[in-house]
Amino acid sequence: MLAQLSILTNQFGGTGDIVTQVIYGISLLFFVVFMFYGQRIQMYIMIREVENSLFKLKFMKDEAKKTAIETIKEIGKPSTDPTSRVDRYLDYFTIAPQSMDPAGIVNKLDHILDIRDARLKEEVKLMAPASDEVQVYNLENTLEAAMALNFIYKVVRHYYLQGKKTLSLYTIMQLQMILPLVMKEAEAYSSALKAFALGQPIGDGAGPLIAAKLMHGYEAKKVPKDCVVAKVPFEGRTALILKAEGPGGNVGKPGEAVKTVIEQNKGKIAAVIMIDAGLKLEGELVGEIAEGIGAAIGGPGVDAFKIEESIVEYKIPLYAVIIKEDIGDAVSMMRKEISDAVDKAIERVKTVVMEKTKEGDKVIIVGVGNTIGIGQ
Amino acid sequence: MSNRSTNSTTKISTFILTIIYVVFALSAVAVFVAIGAFYQGEPIETTISLMAIGFITMAMAGYILFQSRKRMASLKTENPPVITTIECAKCNIKTTREFQRGDYVFKELEPCQKCQDQKQMITAIYREVKEKEKPVTV
């Protein structure tokens, strides 16, 4: 066989001893294979990379479900096994309202989100009958994180299988290109899960933590929906401090709450200051404070819309203070840097209030975010 | 059910392990044959070729095994300890302990051991992260 190979390589210009000829033959073979199958080999390498990430996503999804079931069993003391209910919960979906005629879409979306929220809370109460209100909120957050991981896994698996089935380089390539970002988000949800299950404050709670620190020791009244407000003397002004009601995992509806407080004060508000966790860019430090203008609030946009509507009606200036962190920090247990940034953020809020309002004015300070693990 | 699926995810496939071990055995055979060839006075090129094939395949099999184990290790997420800070407003004594279920910021706890009449309060709950990233110099 070696003699035949030698004759063959000699015909293609290979000379020298048998080792040189073998190496020459192998390189010729590689050249031919890569010429005809290069793209396919590249695709298989990409499929393998996607497969590795999918493997990791499956692990995260399974762990999330396991944690959720264990927490429900531990806290909720259900009489039957909650696994089938959890499976059903993980596949819940929400259909966004039709936007062909966009007039009034915010109210429609708000209504649909209210229904979703109520439905999921009822489901959690059925799964964990022994849990109190705070625990229901925390369990709902835990299940939502598990739901997000389940959804990410299913979508990535869908495109992976579709790409593999059709051997479409472009489907696989697109998936492989966005995977690092998808994995970062999935890892964030995965670490959030434990925080939600245990009721620990998360990075997104920076806003409510600042509000809680400002209102602590003053009487807090409930305002719709799921929020609290306290009247606090602040640098010679009266600050109406707003946050979601804690310590359960809850973001409340700050849009509704700000609107209510402005109307209760007949629009006589000198400024609205919103404090929230803001996404940092790579290279920026966690816990950095930045200041700006506008509604500092994430989510589907309903609350931002309502706040903007209210301030426009009464011509109230709207300022924003953000504490920078990345998506992983925002949904996982609060980092020390974020906890330490609270005092710096309060100083920045004081500066804004002193510079932009007069003594005796009323200002609204809103701590936006999930108040899990933070009281008032 | 979830336990089973988790275990299947965290194990290295038996099929891959079998292939790795077979390749290891074959590469060891190649090395032994190379040594035999050397002592039997075969041309030195044959010894070198067989030795190279043996070591290269052994290294490749070892690399695949190492990568598989590394992938398994990367699946395990580390959970840094979460610290609860407790303060007494009267005597300003600050203590820290590990987080316990039910802790929340501004939760009132048992009275301070020093001044007795003032209840202690949780003032912060956080985790400390050892930064893996290198500081940005640009």
Per-residue pLDDT tens over the stretch B35-78: 888 888 888 888 888 889 889 989 988 888 888 777 666 666 66
Any CB–CB contact under 8 A between B124 and chain A?
A: yes
Residue span of the structural domain in which A282 resides: 203-367
Cα angle A144, A149, A153 (rounded to 5 degrees) comes to 145
The SS3 of residue B56 is helix
Together in a domain, A88 and A113: yes
Question: Please, what is the average pLDDT of chain A?
Answer: 89
Q: What's the pLDDT at A188?
A: 86
Tally of structural domains, chain A: 2
Together in a domain, A93 and A167: yes
Whether residue B79 and residue A194 make contact (CB cut-off 8 A), yes or no, is yes
Nearest chain A Cα to B70, which residue?
A: A52
| Integer Cα distance of A119 and A139 in angstroms | 14
Residue type, A271: A
Together in a domain, A179 and A106: yes
Final residue in a domain of this structure, among A147, A181, A196: A196
Residue B2 has pLDDT above 70, yes or no: no
Together in a domain, A176 and A222: no
Any CB–CB contact under 8 A between B74 and chain A?
A: yes
> What are the tens digits of pLDDT across the range A325-343?
988 888 888 999 999 999 9
**Helices A18-71/A83-90 angle, 10° precision:** 110
Any CB–CB contact under 8 A between B71 and chain A?
A: yes
On whether residue A11 sits in a domain, the answer given is no
Any CB–CB contact under 8 A between A184 and chain B?
A: no
Together in a domain, A211 and A353: yes
Any CB–CB contact under 8 A between B103 and chain A?
A: yes
Q: What's the pLDDT at A37?
A: 87
Nearest chain A Cα to B124, which residue?
A: A339
Any CB–CB contact under 8 A between B45 and chain A?
A: yes
Shortest distance between the Cα of B25 and any Cα of chain A, in A, equals 24
Whether residue A247 and residue B136 make contact (CB cut-off 8 A), yes or no, is no
Helical (H) or strand (E) element with B122: strand B119-127
> What are the tens digits of pLDDT across the range A36-55?
888 888 888 888 889 889 98
Q: How many residues does chain B have?
A: 138
Nearest chain B Cα to A135, which residue?
A: B102
> What are the tens digits of pLDDT across the range A284-331?
999 999 999 999 998 889 999 999 999 999 999 999 999 999 888 888
Residue B8 has pLDDT above 70, yes or no: no
| Integer Cα distance of A316 and A365 in angstroms | 13
> What are the tens digits of pLDDT across the range A191-239?
888 889 888 999 999 999 999 999 998 998 999 888 999 999 998 999 9
Which residues 57-96 in chain A show a CB within 8 A of chain B? 58-59, 62-63, 65-66, 69, 83
Whether residue B75 and residue A374 make contact (CB cut-off 8 A), yes or no, is no
Question: What interface predicted TM-score (ipTM) does this complex get?
Answer: 0.81
Together in a domain, A230 and A331: yes
Residue A151 has pLDDT above 50, yes or no: yes
- Tell me the mean pLDDT in the region A66-85: 89
Shortest distance between the Cα of A308 and any Cα of chain B, in A, equals 31
Give, rounded to a whole angstrom, the gap between the first and last alpha carbons of chain B. 50
| Cβ-count burial A253-272 (b if 16+ within 10 Å, e if not) | bbbbbbbbbbeeeeeebbbb
Together in a domain, A216 and A318: yes
Final residue in a domain of this structure, among A150, A168, A196: A196
Shortest distance between the Cα of A59 and any Cα of chain B, in A, equals 6
